[in-house]
Amino acid sequence: LQPHSSQLRLMTMPSSRVSTSEFYLTYCAHVTRAKNSTPIICLSWTPGGRRLLTGNSEGEFTLWDGINFSFELIMSAHDASFRAMAWSHNKNYLLTCDASGNIKYWSPSIAPVQSLDSHNQQAIHGLSFSHNDTKFVSCGDDSTIRIWDWASHSEERTLEGHGWDVKSVEWHPRSSIIASGSKDNLVKLWDPRIGTCLSTLYGHKNTVTKVNWNINGNWLLTASRDQLIKLYDIRNMKELANFKGHHKEVTSVAWHPIDQNVFCSGGMDGTLLFWNVGPTGTQEPAAKVAYAHDMAVWDLQWHPVGHMY
């Protein structure tokens, strides 16, 4: 996971804990500090989890060994601050974006492949691949969501409907549905094939910072600056649970890659909370790391096998 600093922490489960029903990784396994003090904005495990990539506010990639957490490589990637990164489902390509409206394609060896400018040179906050990797979606401060064709590197469609900056976007894991969250406090569901808004969720009272589909595709998590996390069942468009535990804005959420009922959230104050969604949902965190970081946790990601993040 990553904070609003150059410090990187790897959390893992104590070896004495063997229950497969609990994934509350409250033990800090390693603390690594980058060679400079530039804030880390986003991160991602490489395919298989052998290495960890981080992107900082100066547009630099840093590559870390995922076993002993040692520094391996630092390289310039963008001319402006990183905002997000996303791997294709087949793990053949990586997408990154920055604060100046630039999107870049990368090979698994982190070699540049293609560069695109979009969103009127305003910050791009989110990237996500379609379930079959033929398309991807981006969102940004120009209040739009844009659909891209992967093979031709061209923009196919612009989705308009949010009234302010779009802070997060994610393609459904199995269907042609896109979820987006905006500074206008709204969560919207879109059909990318025809470019229409399917539904709008009005549950939050402040900026929606993250949207995140569950692995089964039936549940959608939404996080906000109103300090709440909400869980929706999109099969009947019903709010299943309202998670209260953060005392400052929620800045990141991530579902566990194996257990479909467990997720972790990070806050502006550096707090990490773990949640277990029961039959009817729960409003109390299952575990808490009060001072995981000194400042905001802007992004977090579980290892592909789920034993650390």
129-174 pLDDT, tens digit each: 999 999 999 999 999 999 999 989 899 999 999 999 999 999 999 9
81-93 pLDDT, tens digit each: 999 999 999 999 9
185-220 pLDDT, tens digit each: 999 999 999 999 999 999 999 999 999 999 889 999
CA distance 245 to 61: 33
CA distance 239 to 237: 7
- Half-sphere exposure at residue 205, Cβ-oriented, CA atoms within 13 angstroms: 3
DSSP assignment letter at 122? P
CA distance 91 to 93: 6
Model pTM?
0.89
As given in the structure block, the two tokens for residue 287 are 């575990």
Task: Confirm if 56 and 40 have CB atoms less than 8 A apart.
Answer: yes
